[in-house]
Amino acid sequence: MESLDNIAEISEIDKSDMLKIVEQFPKQCRDAVSLAETLNLDSSFFASISSIAVLGMGGSGIGGDLLKTVLTENATVPVQVVKGYKLPRFIGKDTLVFAVSYSGNTEETISAFSEAVSRGSRIIAVTSDGLLEKLAQESGANVIKIPSGFQPRAALGYLFFPILITASKLDIVPSLEGDINETLTILEKLSENLSSKRKISENTAKQLAVNLFGKIPVVYGIEGATMPAALRWKCQFNENSKVQAFWNFFPELNHNEIVGWELLKETTKKFSLVILRDRDEHPQITKRVKATRELIKDHLDSIYEVWCEGDSKLARILSILYKGDFVSIYLALLNGVDPTPVKRITLLKKRLAEK
Ligand code: F6R
């Protein structure tokens, strides 16, 4: 499309209204908070929990990455995200297991869930439908049923807030009420500032999408801070904008990937780097970002920085993640592709289901 300010053209390309769903994300998060609060678990369910595991793939698994990042500094038990068929050995009856699958039919999650059932873990399934709901009911696991009709990646509010709120009921996790309120307020403000109605001249998400048009985005996050957002940005570029994209995180990338920006300059000149910054980053990370930029800048088309907003870790991580959702959709529109369908994923799941 020619101009991201042409609303009529936007609705022609965005046939399933992904942009509208993203604009309404703060409301989805508010609904999800209320939904999570309806789950009444007695204190024996939470007694002597020694670890938390989140099972989930893709758009459902990212909620686990967010939970791990948000809780890491304060929770006194480890949080493990399982993105595959099998559970690590330590997961047992004292593990609080969240089995998260939007469709309820993702085979890796179902397999790991079944293992958790046989180990007697304290399980909560988060799903809109499918086999997971059925198996959870049959095995007596708790179910948080979330609304259907979304693409999984567009239902992140429903997939994430219930696990965050349930985990915060454990006495090993400090109260998150204030953080949640701050986050919702910031998301609402961003929704306004980055919405389709906001003209390109005053809309930073539209501006970044224009800058990334025709380039291969590389997104760098920071370990323990913006890392899950960097993964989400990359996945949203893949699934919404239908472009290849890559991600990595500081400081690890300083020990390997930085060397890769050396040869094949003609190719890497088509890459555009987006660094996801956090005002609370370690001072050495600030130095690393500066030095890395200087060392690699001539090997890329361009480098951009996007910053978190807010005080709490929750607000910071969700604000920067949310900005990426907008950028990926505006990039899809510039590419003239409908952000919603993910034909390859559907096709692959069909092939795997064939006997
Ligand atoms: C599609 C999407 C995918 C799915 C993944 C797992 O919008 O985001 O990454 O999330 O294929 O499927 P579910 O979430 O149904 O378990």
Q: Read off φ and ψ for residue 343, nearest 5 degrees.
A: -55, -45
Is pLDDT of 269 > 80? yes
The pLDDT of residue 255: 98
The CA 174 to ligand 1 mean position distance, Å, reads: 30
* Residues whose CB is less than 8 angstroms from the CB of residue 260 and which lie 6 or more positions away in sequence, other chains included: none
Whose C-alpha lies nearest to ligand 1, atom 16?
A: 101
The Cα–Cα gap between 221 and 213 comes to: 21
Q: How confident is the model at residue 236 (pLDDT cuts 50, 70, 90)?
A: very high
| % residues pLDDT > 70 (the chain) | 100
The pLDDT of residue 124: 96
The pLDDT of residue 344: 95
The pLDDT of residue 42: 83
The CA 275 to ligand 1 mean position distance, Å, reads: 25
Mean pLDDT of 233-257: 98
* Residues whose CB is less than 8 angstroms from the CB of residue 205 and which lie 6 or more positions away in sequence, other chains included: 194, 323, 326, 327, 330
Q: How confident is the model at residue 215 (pLDDT cuts 50, 70, 90)?
A: very high
Of 336, 326, 275, 335, nearest to 300 by C-alpha is 275
Q: What is the DSSP letter of 106?
A: -
Tell me the residue type at 197: K
Task: Write down the pTM of the prediction.
Answer: 0.97
Is pLDDT of 229 > 90? yes
Q: What is the DSSP letter of 277?
A: E
Tell me the two tokens of residue 130.
């499918």
The pLDDT of residue 74: 82
Is pLDDT of 225 > 90? yes
The pLDDT of residue 37: 85
For residue 58, the ligand 1 atom closest to its alpha carbon is 9
Contact 22, 205 (CB under 8 A): no
The pLDDT of residue 194: 98
Q: How confident is the model at residue 170 (pLDDT cuts 50, 70, 90)?
A: confident
Is pLDDT of 191 > 90? yes
Which of 22, 55, 57, 349 best tests ligand 1's pocket when mutated (most atoms within 8 Å of CB)? 57
Is pLDDT of 52 > 80? yes
* Between 1 and 68, the higher pLDDT residue: 68
Mean pLDDT of 252-260: 98
For 1-33, the three-class secondary structure string (H helix, E strand, C coil) is CCCCCCHHHHHHHCCCCHHHHHHCHHHHHHHHH
The pLDDT of residue 45: 86
pLDDT digits (tens, 9 = 90+) for 7-26: 989 999 999 999 999 999 99
State the virtual CA torsion across 119, 98, 241, 323 in degrees, nearest 10: -150
The Cα–Cα gap between 1 and 10 comes to: 8
pLDDT digits (tens, 9 = 90+) for 77-130: 999 999 999 999 999 999 999 999 999 999 999 999 999 999 999 999 999 999
Q: How confident is the model at residue 295 (pLDDT cuts 50, 70, 90)?
A: very high
Q: How confident is the model at residue 187 (pLDDT cuts 50, 70, 90)?
A: very high
The CA 265 to ligand 1 mean position distance, Å, reads: 35
- Catalytically active residues are 239, 255, 349
The CA 254 to ligand 1 mean position distance, Å, reads: 31
Tell me the two tokens of residue 144.
């948080």
pLDDT, mean over the chain: 96
The pLDDT of residue 330: 98
Alpha helices in the chain (DSSP H): 7-13, 18-23, 25-37, 43-46, 58-71, 107-118, 130-139, 156-167, 177-194, 204-212, 227-239, 257-260, 265-268, 283-296, 313-335, 343-353
The pLDDT of residue 2: 77
Mean pLDDT of 219-232: 98
Is pLDDT of 44 > 90? no
The pLDDT of residue 139: 97
The pLDDT of residue 174: 80
Which of 83, 163, 345, 351 best tests ligand 1's pocket when mutated (most atoms within 8 Å of CB)? 345
The Cα–Cα gap between 18 and 150 comes to: 9
Q: In what order do the strands lie in the sheet with 271-277?
A: 246-250, 216-222, 271-277, 302-307
Contact 136, 158 (CB under 8 A): no
Is pLDDT of 41 > 90? no
The pLDDT of residue 39: 81
| % residues pLDDT > 90 (the chain) | 91
The Cα–Cα gap between 131 and 109 comes to: 10
The residue assigned the tokens 């040869």 is 263
Contact 58, 231 (CB under 8 A): no
Q: Read off φ and ψ for residue 247, nearest 5 degrees.
A: -145, 160
Handedness of CA 239, 242, 246, 250 (dihedral sign): negative
The pLDDT of residue 262: 97
